Each structure stands twice: as structure tokens, then as C-alpha cells.
Structure 1
Amino acid sequence: MDISSASSVSALSGQSAGTSVENEVLRKAQEIQAKSAAALINSVTQPTKSSSVNLPSHLGQNINTSA
């Protein structure tokens, strides 16, 4: 009986289990990151027209490219 092949099979199965755990941890981290990003995007308020009523009409029309 060849013991070396049996040990290599068990090593491969252990490596496979480790890989599946790593993939599960990665998937969970990506889910958490996606939820955090969605919460951050949803927390940003959209500017309303009334917030810019007090500003002169010429503001925000030009971009200074020489600065």
C-alpha cells in the first residue's frame, strides 16, 4: 500500500476545505462592503433648488483651469 498517495489526497482535501473557507470569508467581506457603500450613497442628500436660491446666478458657471 502506498502511503504517500493517501497523505497527498488528505492534504488536497484539507487544502480544498481551506480554500472554501477563504472564499466564504471573502464573499462575506464583499457583502459587508457593498452594504456599507449602499448606506453611504443613500446617506448623501440631493441638493435642492432652494439651497442655491441665495446664491448669485453667475456662480458655478465657469471652471478656473489656470489655477
Structure 2
Amino acid sequence: MEVNAIASMATAMEQTKTAQEVSVAVLKKALDSQASTASALLDALPPVTANLPPHLGQNINTKA
């Protein structure tokens, strides 16, 4: 009986390990896909400094 329990537990552990590896691989693919999509979106943006005055962003206005 003990041999069967050990074999069953070893099989269950291997299945869990395989499922975790698959989950990590899917997560990595999703992150790569998001990174490439974000990069494409940023590249598609028009240049921001096209019509802005040269002094913009040099001062910070604060009130106490």
C-alpha cells in the first residue's frame, strides 16, 4: 500500500510541476505580446514637441 501511495503522490507532484511550467510559459508569452503591442503603440504616436513653445516645462508653479 505504501508503494502505491508514494507512486501516486509522485505522479501528482509531476503533474503539478508540469502545469506550473505551462502556466509560466503562457505568462511569458502574454508579457512578450503586451510589450510588443505597447512598443508599437508608442511608436505610432506623433512627436509631442512639434508645436510646443521652447520654454514649456522649464518652470513649476506652486502655491502655498
TM-score tier, shorter chain, comes to 0.7 to 0.9
Q: Distance in 2 between matches of 1:36 and 1:27?
A: 14
1:65 paired residue number: 62
- The answer to which structure has the higher helix fraction is 2
Q: Distance in 2 between matches of 1:65 and 1:40?
A: 33
1:35 paired residue number: 36
What is the letter of the counterpart of residue 61 of structure 2? N
Structure 1, unaligned stretches of length 5 or more?
A: none
Pairwise CA RMSD: 2.2
Alignment of 1:1-67 (within 5 A): 2-46=3-47, 47-48=49-50, 51-52=51-52, 60=56, 61-66=58-63
Number of equivalent positions: 61
Q: Provide the TM-score with structure 1 as the length reference.
A: 0.71
- From the CA coordinates, give the structure whose radius of gyration is larger: 1
Q: Provide the TM-score with structure 2 as the length reference.
A: 0.73
Structure 2, unaligned stretches of length 5 or more?
A: none
Identity of aligned residues (%): 33
How far is 1:28 from its partner? 1.1
Structure 1 segments, 4+ long, off by >6 Å, are none
